[in-house]
A and B are shown apart, each in its own frame.
Chain A
Amino acid sequence: MSASTTSDVILEMRDITKTFPGVKALSGVNFSVRRGEVHAICGENGAGKSTLMKVLSGVHPHGSYDGEILFEGHPCSYKSVRDSEKDGIVIIHQELALSPHLSIAENIFLGNEQATRGVINWYKTNAEASKLLTRVGLSEGPDTKIVNIGVGKQQLVEIAKALSKDVKLLILDEPTAALNDEDSAHLLGLIRKLREQGITCIIISHKLNEIAAIADSTTIIRDGMTIETLDMHGAERVTEERIIRGMVGRSLDNRFPDHTPQIGEEIFRLQDWTVYHPQDPSRVVVDHANLTVRRGEIVGIAGLMGAGRTELAMSVFGRTWGTKISGTVFVNGKQVDTSNVTKAIRAGLAYASEDRKRFGLNLIDDIKHNTTAAALGKISKRGVVDQSEEYRIAELYRRKLNTKTPTVDAFVGKLSGGNQQKVVLSKWMFTDPDVLILDEPTRGIDVGAKYEIYTHINALADAGKGVLVISSELPELIGLCDRIYALSQGVITGEVPRAEATQERLMHFMTKEKEVAGR
């Protein structure tokens, strides 16, 4: 947007270079944002998006980078986040920074308490909070505790908090990554509303359809450099493919590898599977679910957030979620006992969690230990681990999955999302399962790495395994799966073969009310 006159420009970052020991994270980035626009930043993980925003907001203080930042025409030298907030620049990080046991109002004014001489004015706090909540479209009372509202609403509380600081430039880092479609739509609507009120917004997102829907401009960053800034309302329509081409530096015509399935006999069957909520045992979360997977088949489970997808998977895998679980699991036609994780693994099941950092990996341990964690018995004799064998196995899977790391001694916490996911896959592949349940296998992974993960999933199916994929991204399910089940409020409401799968059709089943589905 070099054509824009300087008066429209609220933010200009010139020639920003940021070096970490041994790594150049940003090299000569130029970035400018017009007043009142929604400006998206796209790039693969590790491209430098977050670093750029940290430079802007003062997380990386002035002096630790080279280059110049002009905000509303004035050069900035922020030493901390507090400094940038004084100027009206507020950043909302992907991991929300709310205190769970405090109320909405307390969180909104945390660090900015409505107090006179150190004594909090609760009347003012709650009244001001109510006003802000109305602005962001939340109907909850200001005294509601954060633990009692969902992630989508928490995100709105963060925005309300930003508004309380008289925000001029709001930066959202992956705001919809953890949200369901409905909450995402609401959030995007709110961003539009804020734009009308004159608030400029920078949004970092992996969800290209959202960017296409909401952004006025899109800046693409790759390898720490600005590649281009696209005008989303320009003459040429900016498609998702166009953005991807910029992000990966080549055109990615096909986001999914070609795959011809070789489908065999049934390998996994779930019959009348019913699960109740552990905290609220009267609430049925999975309701008489029946599903099958055949050898060599990739089967998807589609469902909105809260439909019970993860709950279904975890209740099957060693009853790690839920209570009053009933129903039967068959592997290779034989009924199996999956009442604890060890038995489930022995029965031939594997489950890769949707949240690999919390549930999948020991981040403070290395790749080799994580790789063997679920099948230590295979490399140990009488309880003693054969470390040579462990190295060999870890190295074998590192090469098979093309995990980017100098050695298998590297700590998993240091790896990128895509490489961490490969370690998770290695771990479950090493247990030699018949059926793999992959919960959001590509969440938070950049486009290039997603393609790799898809290739590995296909390879697993070709090796004669059954693969069950849970995903929130419908295009992913349609592109990857041979057959897709739709789950709505714990009930399997539909089953769609690949040839007939469209987003509309799946969405129809996914939103089907329970009463209609009946049982």
Chain B
Amino acid sequence: MTEVTPTGPQDSAATTAAAVPPEAPIKAEAAQAAATKKTNLREYGIVGALVAIVILFQVLTGGKLLMPDNVASLFQQNAYVMVLAIGMVMVIIAGHIDLSVGSIVAFIGGVLAIAMVNWNLPWVLAVIIGLALGLVIGAWQGFWVAYVGVPAFIVTLAGMLIFRGLAILIVGETIAGLPSGFVGISNAGLLGLLGYAGAADILTLVIGIAAIVAFLFSQLRTRRTMKSHDLRVEPSAMFLTKLVGVSLLIAVFTWILAQSAIGTPYVLILVAILILAYAFLMGRTVFGRHIYAIGGNVHAAVLSGVNVKTMNFRIFVNMGLLASIAALVTTSRAGAALAAAGSNYELDAIAACFIGGTAVTGGVGKVSGVIVGALIMGVLNMGLSIIGTNPALQNVIKGLVLLIAVAFDLINKRRAAGA
């Protein structure tokens, strides 16, 4: 057995020191520092854009946007974008696209309603059926993409037609009369379990404080690890500003939510769990790493032993699962299954990904980024509705925001690269 002793280090150091132009490391270092700064700015930039849009609409709506019940329904109405965007970002990072998720939401929503209304199944069982169906649909699409090699654009374009058609077939127009437990998922929240402090729900406040503590703890831990490996960390002042800024945001947000009629919405808890789980999956696991590897350079991934077919299959199965969760929150929110449900949801999710900094060419993207992207879309939806903008005009505005966000990103990157 040979231990990995790649080379005699002293040897190579001695022979190579003279052969390498001395300024090479300095050049690389300067470029690297610039790149690090750019990435940071990019991430802060999008959070800044979100804050700016919130403030803009807060003013335009005369303070209505951030009223407690509006904040709660902001989440309830836009949970689907976040859920779908989490799956979509994985699909896009791997170099694919999924156009079918909106139709899948309608179809699974229909099945959920039929299970509860026509078959009289308990809603929990219906939900399980819905989730299983999501996995099956994901496997169907994954099969064509991964094992037959049909481009995802085509497979999911077909899926868009197929599942929309199936949804109309089984639903007709509307199936209403869903059980209240099910409807509660997207319309109620954890409230009053720990009593009230004035008008504020204590449980919500506790959750908010826990979130701040967890955030600070994880940030400090990451920074310590980075430092222990002599890695470049952002300057202390910048880091501190970030900690204080984000903590304040969470605090303000918690305080507002605590005064809403429903406390902490159930969907917010659901979405938060999904965000944490998938951020971990993408950032810390072999599975996530392989997705980035495929999107970054599929040939290199193959030659590094990544089973690209299996991975592509799993990515689509996962997308199917998340589409079924989106179907769940959408159907619950509406209190009924609609054949027309979920239309343009795929576009909302894709837009959230690209606003959130995902690369069109794959290989680059983050769960945290697309969540901010989804929130931007959500605040736009909410704010424009409150000020009573014509829905047609809302589409125009959302389209322009997407265009400008991606163009801005590209110009930034070009400036960084061409420097």
Contact = CB atoms under 8 A, between A and B. Distances in A.
Interface of A: 20-23, 44, 46-47, 222-223, 248, 250, 257, 317-318, 320, 340-342, 344-345, 351, 353, 358-365, 369, 373-374, 376-377, 380, 383-385, 387-388, 391-392, 395, 397, 399-402, 404-411, 414-416, 419, 425-427, 429-430, 432, 434, 447-449, 451-452, 455-456, 459-460, 462-465
Which 6 residue pairs are nearest across A and B when measured between Cβ atoms?
Answer: A448-B19, A459-B7, A362-B296, A22-B30, A406-B29, A374-B304
A465 B289 contact: no
A385 B282 CA distance: 11
A91 B149 CA distance: 39
A459 B12 contact: yes
Contacts of B199: none
A388 B28 contact: no
A255 B201 CA distance: 76
A464 B5 CA distance: 10
Nearest to B28: A405
A385 B284 contact: yes
Given A374-B304, A400-B6, A456 B12 contact: yes
A250 B302 CA distance: 41
Interface residues of chain A: helix, strand, loop or mixed (majority): mixed
Interface centre among A399, A407, A426 (most CB of B within 10 A): A407
B293 interface: yes
A365 B285 contact: no
A248 B225 contact: no
A301 to B, nearest CB: 18
Interface centre among A223, A317, A384, A464 (most CB of B within 10 A): A384
A430 B33 CA distance: 27
A363 B28 contact: no
Interface string B279-297: 0000011110110110011
Contact of B8 (A44, A392, A459): A459
A385 B301 contact: no
A21 to B, nearest CB: 5
Nearest to A380: B286
B304 A22 contact: no
Interface in B293-343: 293, 296-297, 299-307
B364 A364 contact: yes
B24 interface: yes
A385 B15 contact: no
Contacts of B20: 404, 448-449, 452
A362 B297 contact: yes
A364 B93 CA distance: 12
Contacts of A345: 305
A447 B20 CA distance: 9
28 contacts: A21-B34, A22-B27, A22-B30, A22-B34, A318-B305, A320-B303, A341-B306, A345-B305, A361-B297, A363-B297, A364-B296, A365-B292, A377-B286, A384-B286, A392-B229, A400-B12, A401-B7, A405-B32, A407-B231, A409-B231, A409-B232, A416-B24, A429-B6, A432-B4, A448-B19, A448-B20, A459-B6, A463-B2
Interface centre among B7, B8, B25, B33 (most CB of A within 10 A): B7
B150 interface: no
A456 B6 contact: yes
Contacts of A353: 303
Contacts of A401: 6-7, 12
Nearest to A393: B4
Contacts of A449: 19-20
Nearest to B4: A432
A21 B32 CA distance: 12
A409 B305 CA distance: 23
Contacts of B297: 358-359, 361-364
A444 to B, nearest CB: 16
A374 B289 CA distance: 11
B2 A465 contact: yes
Interface centre among B24, B231, B290 (most CB of A within 10 A): B24
A432 to B, nearest CB: 5
A401 B2 CA distance: 18
A384 B285 contact: yes
Contact of B285 (A248, A385, A391): A385
Contact of A399 (B9, B33, B287): B9
A407 B232 contact: yes
Contact of A359 (B2, B4, B32, B300): B300
Contacts of B225: 387-388, 391
Contact of B232 (A360, A406, A414): A406
Interface centre among A250, A416, A452 (most CB of B within 10 A): A452
B345 to A, nearest CB: 29
Contacts of B13: 402
Given A21-B30, A358-B297, A463-B6, A388 B302 contact: no
Interface string B227-261: 01111100000000000000000000000000000
B318 to A, nearest CB: 14
A408 B419 CA distance: 22
B21 interface: yes
B19 A452 contact: yes
A451 B15 contact: yes
A460 B7 contact: yes
Contacts of B289: 369, 373, 376, 385
B287 A383 contact: yes
A20 B229 contact: no
